[in-house]
Amino acid sequence: MLHDKYVPVAIDHETGDIYRDPSTGFATRNAYTDGGEMLVKIPHESVFQGYWNAPEATAKKYAYDVFQKGDLYYRSGDALRRDDDGKWYFMDRLGDTFRWKSENVSTAEVATVLGRFPGVTEANVYGVLIPKHDGRAGCAALLVENPESFDFAGLLRHARAQLPKYAVPVFVRVVAESAKIHNNKQNKVELRVEGVDPEKVGTRTKDRILWCAPGESGYFDFGKGEWESLETGQVTL
């Protein structure tokens, strides 16, 4: 009954916008079982009350000419899917998903898996830009109980057993404090901008960056020398 009212669409994960067919300009509808950003068809803009005193933010919630000229949809900003039994699953908040090895990585899925490992208090997952590589490599900012005795090799084994190969974080950033903002949501923006470039990781001098280099079975310290090996192309992830 609501097949044409609640519609999952494909997303361009590089821009975070709705993917538009280059020839038609229209969006691509995904199957409910595959999921995508959930759009809600609305008759006119007044259906959504909007954000108080923020017209630009309000305007971003509308999608025009999605499947045909003149139609109007409300952008939920949430990626959802529904299985054949009718159960709905939250996949990710739009903008959190990143692309690596030509695959879309769900930060929520990775964070959930890492959060189950003993000693992990909080896992904040995001993608970071790496020299000479397309997409973003996975990085997990972890708040752990005992950083000095934490089992990083065990964490990697756990991640490899529970996640697809492309979703296993390449980098780990051990943080000294939680990265939550005023509304108790995790703040990925600052961490994503800094990435793992030693010259940019400056907001939290006590943080420790580790990585899993090709062929390694654990996470080891990552610094200027390791970054230069990526810049020069000596190491390919």
Q: Tell me the per-residue pLDDT of 151-197, one tens digit each, with 9 for 90 and over.
A: 999 999 999 999 999 999 999 999 987 765 444 456 677 888 889 99
Last residue of a domain, one of 93, 112, 136: 93
How many domains would you assign to the chain? Answer: 2
Q: Can you give the pTM of this predicted structure?
A: 0.67
Among 41, 65, 93, the domain-final residue is 93
Give the pLDDT score at 149. Answer: 94
Task: Identify whether 109 is part of a domain.
Answer: yes
* Cβ within 8 Å of residue 170, ≥6 positions away: 130, 137, 138, 139, 211, 212, 237
Of the pLDDT bands very low, low, confident and very high (cuts 50, 70, 90), residue 1 is: confident
Q: What is the pLDDT of residues 103-126, one digit of tens each?
A: 889 888 899 999 999 999 999 999
The verdict on 223 and 111 lying in the same domain is: yes
Decide if 176 contacts 198 (C-beta within 8 A): no
Let me know whether 66 and 111 are in one domain.
Answer: no
Owning domain of residue 51: 6-93
Average pLDDT, the chain: 89
> Does 52 fall in a domain?
yes
